[in-house]
C-alpha cells in the first residue's frame, strides 16, 4: 500500500524525468482546464437558454470589451517570469517587485476601462457589467503572475487546484443567480466572487507553503522586466484586438443579438481548444529550459509538441464542420440556429491555432518578442480592415470569415520568420510525414461520419466513432511507415 502511494505521488507531484514532468504538468493543466472550461460552458449554455440571444449578447459584448484591455493588467510579465525563473531560480526574489508593479497596472487599467466604457455604449446596464468584469479580470491577472511562478518551478498542480476552485464557485453561484435573481449584472458578480476566492487561495497557499510573499518597490526590476516584456505585451494587445474586436464592433453597431449568436458558437470553439492550452502550458517551461542547455533535447521536445498539435487539429476541423448543426441544436436549441454556419467557419480557425501555437511559442522562448509583435500588429490591422468590410454586409458570418483569414495569414508569417532565426529544424521529415498522415486520416474520418448511418446516431456515439476511425487510420499508417524505415520512432 505504501509503495503504491509513493509511486503515485512520484508521478503526479514530483519532477523526475523529462517525460514524467511533461506528463505530470499535462495531467494537472488538462484536468483543471478541462473541468474549468466545461463547467463554465455548462453555465454559459444555461445563461444563453434562459436569457436569450439578446441579453446573452449584452454580457458577451461587455466581456469582449474588457478582454481588449487584459494585456494592460499584465504587460507580458507572466510569460517572462516563467521563462526567466525557469532558467535561473535564484532570481525568484524579483517576484516581490513584480507584484507591486502588478498592483499599479491593475489600478490604472480599471480606471482606463471605466472611462472608455462611457464612450463604447449608452446602455447603463452594459456599462455596469463592464465595470464588474474589469475588477474580475484584474484579480484573475494577479493570480496569473503567481501561476507563472509555479510554472517556472513546474509545479502546475497548485495552479490546477486554484483554477478548479474558481470554476466550481462561478458555476454554483452562477446557477443560483440564474434560478433565483437572474440578470447579467448579478451574473457578473458571480465571476467577480470566484476570481476573488481563487486569488486569496493561491496567494495564501504560496505564501505559507512554498515561497513567502511580500511587496517590494524596486523600480530597477520593473524597468528590467518591462524592457523585456513590452514587445510581448504589445503583441498580446494586438492579439486581443483580432480575438475580440469583432464582438466589440458588432455590439457597437447595435448588433447585440448577432453578438449573442456569434459568441454562442465561439464559446464551443474555446472548449475545443482545451488541448491546445494544456499542451502549450505543459511544454513551455521544458522548451524554455532546453533552449539554452541542449539543442538535441530541444529538437526532440519540439517535434513531440508540434506532432501532438497536428494530430489534434485535423479531426477537430472535420468533426466540427460535419456535426455543427447537431452540436448547436443540442447545446443551445433552435433559437441559435444562426450560430451553425458561424461555428462551421470558426472551427477552421481552431485548427489553425493548434498548428500555429508552437511557432508562436518559439518566438518567446528564443527572445524574439519584437518579431512576434510585428506579426500580431499585422494580424490586428488585417482583422480590423476585414471586419469593417465584412461585418456590415454579412454580420456574424463576416466576423467569422475575418477571424479565419487573419489567423491563417498570421500562421504564414510565423512560419516565415521562425525559419529565419531558429537553429533547429522546425519542419523535418518526421513532422512532414505526420502532417500527411493526419490529412489522409481526416479524409477517411469525414467519409465515415458523413454516412447517414453514422451521422444520425447519438452525437456522442457518432463523435467517438469518428475519433476511433481517425486514430486507427493514423497509427496504422504510422506503423507501416515505421516498418519500412522511412522515419524513426
Domain annotation covers residue 419: yes
Tell me the C-alpha distance between 69 and 241, whole Å: 9
Say how many C-beta atoms besides its own lie within 10 A of residue 385's C-beta.
Answer: 12
User: In this structure, what C-alpha cell is assigned to residue 419?
Assistant: 525559419
Is residue 451 one of the residues assigned to a domain? no
Q: What is the pLDDT along the chain (489 residues), one digit of tens a residue?
A: 444 556 566 666 666 666 666 677 777 777 787 788 888 888 888 888 888 889 999 999 999 999 999 889 888 888 888 878 877 777 778 888 888 998 899 999 999 999 999 999 999 999 999 999 999 999 988 888 888 888 777 777 788 888 888 889 989 999 998 889 989 999 999 999 999 988 898 888 888 877 777 788 888 888 888 888 877 788 778 878 877 899 999 999 989 999 999 999 998 998 888 788 777 877 877 787 777 777 777 788 888 888 899 999 999 999 999 999 999 998 888 889 999 999 999 999 999 999 998 888 888 788 787 788 888 889 889 999 999 999 999 999 999 999 999 999 999 999 888 877 776 677 777 888 889 999 999 999 999 999 999 999 998 899 999 999 999 999 999 888 877 754 454
- Domain presence at residue 469: no
Q: Is residue 100 part of a domain?
A: yes
Please give the Cα distance from 297 to 303 (Å, whole number). Answer: 10
The Cα–Cα gap between 372 and 422 comes to 13
Q: Is residue 94 part of a domain?
A: yes
Which domain, by its residues, includes 298? 17-427
Contact between 178 and 187 (Cβ < 8 Å): yes
5 inside domain: no
Q: Exposure of 168 by Cβ count < 10 A (0-12 exposed, 13-18 middle, 19+ buried)?
A: middle
Angle at 210 between CA 206 and CA 212, to 5 degrees: 70
C-alpha 386, offset from chain centre: 23
| Number of domain units in the chain | 1
Q: In this structure, is residue 443 part of a structural domain?
A: no
Q: Can you tell me the distance from the alpha carbon of 128 to that of 214, in angstroms, rounded to the nearest whole number? A: 33
Any domain includes 462: no
Confidence (pLDDT) at 3: 44
C-alpha cell at position 29? 493543466
Distance in angstroms (rounded) separating the CA atoms of residues 354 and 280? 9
Angle, helices 18-67/184-205, rounded to nearest 10 degrees: 140
Cα separation of 20 and 10, whole Å? 9
Amino acid at each position: 500500500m505504501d509503495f503504491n502511494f509513493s509511486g503515485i505521488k512520484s508521478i503526479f507531484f514530483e519532477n523526475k524525468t523529462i517525460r514524467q514532468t511533461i506528463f505530470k504538468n499535462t495531467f494537472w493543466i488538462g484536468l483543471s482546464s478541462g473541468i474549468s472550461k466545461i463547467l463554465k460552458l455548462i453555465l454559459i449554455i444555461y445563461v444563453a437558454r434562459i436569457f436569450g440571444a439578446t441579453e446573452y449578447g449584452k454580457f458577451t459584448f461587455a466581456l469582449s470589451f474588457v478582454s481588449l484591455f487584459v494585456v494592460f493588467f499584465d504587460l507580458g510579465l507572466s510569460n517572462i517570469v516563467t521563462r526567466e525563473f525557469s532558467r535561473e531560480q535564484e532570481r525568484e526574489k524579483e517576484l516581490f517587485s513584480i507584484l507591486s508593479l502588478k498592483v499599479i497596472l491593475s489600478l490604472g487599467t480599471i480606471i482606463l476601462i471605466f472611462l472608455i466604457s462611457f464612450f463604447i455604449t449608452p446602455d447603463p446596464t452594459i456599462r455596469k457589467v463592464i465595470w464588474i468584469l474589469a475588477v474580475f479580470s484584474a484579480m484573475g491577472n494577479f493570480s496569473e503572475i503567481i501561476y507563472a511562478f509555479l510554472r517556472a518551478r513546474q509545479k502546475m498542480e497548485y495552479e490546477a487546484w486554484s483554477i478548479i476552485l474558481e470554476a466550481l464557485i462561478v458555476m454554483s453561484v452562477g446557477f443560483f443567480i440564474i434560478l433565483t435573481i437572474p440578470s447579467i449584472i448579478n451574473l457578473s458578480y458571480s465571476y467577480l466572487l470566484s476570481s476573488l476566492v481563487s486569488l486569496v487561495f493561491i496567494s495564501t497557499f504560496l505564501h505559507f507553503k512554498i515561497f513567502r510573499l511580500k511587496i517590494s518597490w524596486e523600480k530597477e526590476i520593473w524597468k528590467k522586466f518591462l524592457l523585456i516584456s513590452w514587445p510581448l505585451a504589445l503583441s498580446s494587445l494586438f492579439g486581443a484586438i483580432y480575438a475580440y474586436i469583432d464582438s466589440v464592433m458588432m455590439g457597437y453597431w447595435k448588433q447585440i443579438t448577432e453578438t449573442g449568436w456569434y459568441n454562442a458558437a465561439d464559446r464551443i470553439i474555446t472548449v475545443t481548444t482545451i488541448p491546445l492550452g494544456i499542451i502549450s502550458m505543459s511544454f513551455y517551461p521544458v522548451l524554455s529550459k532546453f533552449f539554452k542547455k541542449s539543442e538535441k533535447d530541444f529538437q526532440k521536445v519540439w517535434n513531440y509538441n508540434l506532432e501532438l498539435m497536428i494530430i489534434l487539429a485535423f479531426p477537430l476541423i472535420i468533426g466540427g464542420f460535419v456535426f455543427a448543426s447537431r452540436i448547436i441544436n443540442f447545446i443551445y436549441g433552435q433559437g441559435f440556429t444562426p450560430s451553425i454556419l458561424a461555428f462551421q467557419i470558426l472551427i477552421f480557425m481552431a485548427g489553425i491555432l493548434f498548428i500555429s501555437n508552437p511557432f508562436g511559442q518559439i518566438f518567446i522562448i528564443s527572445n524574439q518578442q519584437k518579431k512576434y509583435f510585428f506579426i500580431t500588429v499585422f494580424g490586428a490591422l488585417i482583422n480590423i480592415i476585414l471586419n469593417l468590410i465584412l461585418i456590415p454586409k454579412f454580420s456574424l458570418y463576416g466576423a467569422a470569415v475575418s477571424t479565419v483569414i487573419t489567423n491563417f495569414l498570421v500562421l504564414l508569417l510565423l512560419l516565415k520568420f521562425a525559419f529565419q532565426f531558429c537553429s533547429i529544424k522546425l519542419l523535418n521529415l518526421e513532422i512532414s510525414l505526420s502532417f500527411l498522415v493526419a490529412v489522409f486520416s481526416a479524409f477517411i474520418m469525414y467519409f465515415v461520419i458523413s454516412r447517414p448511418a453514422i451521422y444520425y446516431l447519438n452525437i456522442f456515439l457518432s463523435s467517438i466513432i469518428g475519433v476511433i476511425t481517425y486514430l486507427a487510420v493514423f497509427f496504422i499508417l504510422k506503423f507501416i511507415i515505421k516498418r519500412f524505415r522511412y522515419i524513426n520512432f
